[in-house]
Structure 1
Amino acid sequence: MSGFWDVVLSPTGLVLYAGFWAFKIVAGAWVLRRAMLLLPVRAQVWTEDRLARLKLRGRRRPLG
C-alpha cells in the first residue's frame, strides 16, 4: 500500500488528481446544461433564475 501513496502523493499524482477534478466539474456543468435544454421553456427560465440567485449562473441580459 505504501507504493500506492508514493504514486498518489508524487507531483505527477497530484497533477492527475487535480486534472481529474477539473474534468469532472467541467463535464458535470456540460451535462447539467444539456439536461436544462430538455426542460420546457418555463422550467428553463425558472431554473436559470434560481441558479442566478445562487450565483451559480449569470442572469440573461437583454442585448442593447
Structure 2
Amino acid sequence: VTNKQLELATSRDIAKQIWFPEWDLFMMQRVQEYIRGSMSTDQIVDELGKKVAELKQQYQ
C-alpha cells in the first residue's frame, strides 16, 4: 500500500514557495493557540491577515 501511495503522490506547488515555511509555522502556532482557547476567532483572523500582508511585502 505504501509503495502505491508513493507512486501516486504529488507535492503541492504552494509548499515549494519561498515564503510558505514561514507562513505554515506561524499559522499552525496560531491555530494551536486558538484550539487551546487562548485566542478568539477575531484575533486569529486578524493576526493571520497581518502575517499575509507582512509576507507579501517581504517577498514581493
Q: TM-score range by the shorter chain?
A: 0.3 to 0.5
TM-score (ref. length: structure 1): 0.32
Quick one: higher RCO (CA 8 Å, sep 6+), 1 or 2? 2
Structure number with larger C-alpha Rg: 1
User: Which is richer in helix?
Assistant: 2
